[in-house]
Amino acid sequence: MGKEKRYFTWTTEMDKVLGACLKEELNKGNRLDGKCAWKPTSWTAAMNTLLRQLNVRIEKKHLTSRLKTWHKHYEILHPLLVSCAFNSAIIWDHSNGRIKVNDENVWNEQLEANPKLAPYRKKIVIENWDDICILFSKAFVTGQCGNLTRETNKEKELGSSKEEESFGTNERTVEKDDLGSTPLDGQKRWLNASSSSGSQDSKRRLTTSQTMADVLGRMADSLNRFVMAKTKKATTQEVLRELQKVDLTRTQMLTVLDMMMHDQILFDTFVGLPSDLRQPWILMQLTK
């Protein structure tokens, strides 16, 4: 007889603890590019947290399996709730952990377009939907700023190296040309007379090379700081703090949060508006 396959059962409390732990890891920048990709320290933190708080021993394979399930929920439900965020034909019922249909016609249209939605109305219960929305928003792909910084520093190093090589080549060429143009019978006297000045010229050329490299280095550093400032994105907490000042439903808030985490310009525009214009502006964005 074959071995009976054993399933690992997740509880609501386990989902809550795992979601809270991964949100902390997300804020630390430990989310990687991929639907279930995290740094090794994040997996370890999740396993240790579940053991410490709930006395549940768990393996990485159990975590990845759970995250794949969450991602499946997100891919099916998120487009539906975004499309219905403005008219509230279909909303998320947080008290029951499932979708709530306010317009049967809209529901039938959506169901026909995506039959996978069917069990989410009465069968499947998701009590950590807010966490899922935050964890699987495509805005939280990290590493872009870090890669850009490394590329800029690499260009700076290559630029300095090429500049020094160029100066060194020119120095050797000048010395060879000068010697070649000197008459044979006066070569010894020229070498003795110019040894001191030649040494000083070499030092001046070396100083010039170092100065140029230093200038290029400072320019690269300035460019790097400028690029980092331009590519810096608002954190989830920063966006949420501003959105909580506006009268929005939870579904609308999560939808706009996802939009703003994708588009920094959208968030910058929002925070730059007077308080009385923020809600109308958000509702206008939701209808686009």
Task: From 206, 231, 256, give the residue that closes a domain.
Answer: 231
pLDDT surpasses 70 at 165: no
pLDDT recorded at residue 149: 31
Q: Is residue 3 part of a domain?
A: no
- Between 44 and 166, name the one with better pLDDT: 44
Q: Tell me if 120 sits within 8 A of 76, measured CB to CB.
A: yes
Q: How confident is the model at residue 185 (pLDDT cuts 50, 70, 90)?
A: very low
Residues 126 and 218 in one domain: no
If one counts the domains in the chain, the total is 3
Nearest to 140 by CA among 262, 264, 265, 271: 262
pLDDT surpasses 50 at 280: yes
Residues 164 and 277 in one domain: no
Q: Is residue 69 part of a domain?
A: yes
Q: How confident is the model at residue 194 (pLDDT cuts 50, 70, 90)?
A: very low
Neighbour count for residue 38 (Cβ, 10 Å): 22
Q: Is residue 7 part of a domain?
A: no
Q: What's the sign of the alpha-carbon dihedral 118, 124, 125, 131?
A: negative
Provide the token pair at 288.
């686009």
Task: From 118, 140, 162, give the residue that closes a domain.
Answer: 140
Residues 29 and 126 in one domain: yes
Residues 128 and 155 in one domain: no
- Domain range for 250 is 236-287
Residues 30 and 119 in one domain: yes
> Tens of pLDDT along 234-277?
788 888 888 888 888 888 888 888 888 877 888 888 888 888 88
Task: From 140, 156, 190, give the residue that closes a domain.
Answer: 140
The residue-averaged pLDDT of 124-140 equals: 85
Q: Is residue 2 part of a domain?
A: no
Residues 121 and 165 in one domain: no
